[in-house]
Amino acid sequence: MNFIGLCLRFLFSMFKSHSALCAENLALRHQLCVYQRSVKRPKVRPIDRILWGLLSRVWTRWKDALIFVKPDTVIRWQRKRFKEYWRRLSTSGKPGRPPVAEEVKNLIRTMSSMNPTWGSPRIVGELAKLGITVTKSTVDKYRVRVRKPPSPSWRAFLKNHMKELVSVDFLVVPTVRFKILYVFLVLSIERRRIIHFAITQHPTAAWTAQQVVEAFPWDTAPKYLLRDRDKVYGGWFKRRVRNMGIEEVLTAPHSPWQNPYSERLNGSIRRECLDHVIVFGENHLRRIIGDYVAYYNGSRTHLSLDMDSPDMRPVQMPDQGKVISLPQVGGLHHRYERRAA
């Protein structure tokens, strides 16, 4: 009703004299000044915003008559109304694309499972021939994907050649006198068995090649030898291994994960043995590693071997006696067996 009253007053003012309009304008401005002094923030209704939005479009001097708010506020009102208008317009219908029929979803799954070599564009084209129009993103959403194993080449190679594959690596051990000793380890992949170990202060290609000869006497040499690209495996080592009929398999540079069995063995020796002792010298380290190798091969159970040890530790039933503990590796580990009383 206030808005209608203002419109009527505007029409009646067109018939008033100039002096009367000036006097009324002065009186209204004085009242606005009093109102502005007494009220910090006037309450503005939506109809007031609409009125000033219309005046800003049809009246060039609307800023001079505006007192209770700033002109930027009126412009902000107009922008807000514009956003609300388009928000209501965009949310009036159902959002997103039209739903895909369940029959089409099942057809996409069937095509992708029966034709694993087909990509999404191929399925889109096949559906188009059936009078079904869908996008590539829709096919990607509902198709059945065949999971491929990660790193198929290395995993398949290690799995298929376990019986004929050994891996070699060096373990660095500091002594109490700050000397560095190198432990050369030869591991059989099939049963995770440590075949040979040797210790030296100065590893060379000739010394390493001799250790391979000692690890595989007569005709026991494997077909493949897995190693990294350390410079210690020089020309002498390569010639000796080639003459033994062994084919070398080299890991990629900076890729220790490609020789996981030797890396895991090195970590086990450190965590389960060397981190708990102080190495005094080469002979002392040889005794420690020898004890651990005996424990590792004969007593330690492995997840990859169905909780068996590399040397196939027998299962002892409860009727074979009570359980006793046998200390190994200087008491760091124990083996439990049943013994008759």
The CATH code of the domain that includes 262 is 3.30.420.10
Mean pLDDT: which of 2-6, 132-136, 247-251 is highest?
A: 247-251
Does residue 241 belong to any structural domain of this protein?
Answer: yes
Q: How confident is the model at residue 118 (pLDDT cuts 50, 70, 90)?
A: confident
Say yes or no: 44 and 177 in one domain. no
Name the residue with higher pLDDT: 68 or 265.
265
Does residue 148 belong to any structural domain of this protein?
Answer: no
CA 264 to CA 324: how far, in whole Å? 30
Domain count, the chain: 3
Say yes or no: 167 and 214 in one domain. yes
Half-sphere exposure of 50 (CA within 13 A, CB side): 4
Residues in Cβ contact with 322 at an 8 Å cutoff, skipping those fewer than 6 apart: 338, 339, 341
Confidence (pLDDT) at 258: 87
Give percent of the chain with pLDDT exceeding 70.
Answer: 72
CB atoms within 10 A of CB 269: 22
Buried (b) or exposed (e) across 237-257, using 16+ Cβ within 10 A?
beebbeebebeebebeeeeee
Confidence (pLDDT) at 16: 57
Say yes or no: 79 and 109 in one domain. no
Say yes or no: 331 and 182 in one domain. yes
Say yes or no: 293 and 213 in one domain. yes
Say yes or no: 182 and 286 in one domain. yes
Say yes or no: 215 and 183 in one domain. yes
Specify the pTM.
0.56
Say yes or no: 135 and 199 in one domain. no
Does residue 44 belong to any structural domain of this protein?
Answer: yes
Q: Which domain holds residue 129?
A: 102-142
Name the residue with higher pLDDT: 90 or 234.
234
Say yes or no: 56 and 182 in one domain. no
Q: DSSP letters along 251-297, please?
A: PPTT-GGGSHHHHHHHHHHHHHTGGGS---SHHHHHHHHHHHHHHHH
Say yes or no: 84 and 215 in one domain. no
The DSSP bridge partners found for residue 180 are 174
CA 329 to CA 270: how far, in whole Å? 13
What value does the mean pLDDT take over residues 24-31? 59
List, for residues 284-312, the tens digit of each pLDDT value.
999 999 999 999 999 999 888 888 999 99
Confidence (pLDDT) at 1: 46
Name the residue with higher pLDDT: 183 or 75.
183
List, for residues 228-275, the tens digit of each pLDDT value.
999 999 999 999 999 999 999 999 988 888 899 999 999 999 999 999
Confidence (pLDDT) at 288: 96
Q: How confident is the model at residue 227 (pLDDT cuts 50, 70, 90)?
A: very high
Pick from 287, 309, 300, 311: nearest CA to 333: 300
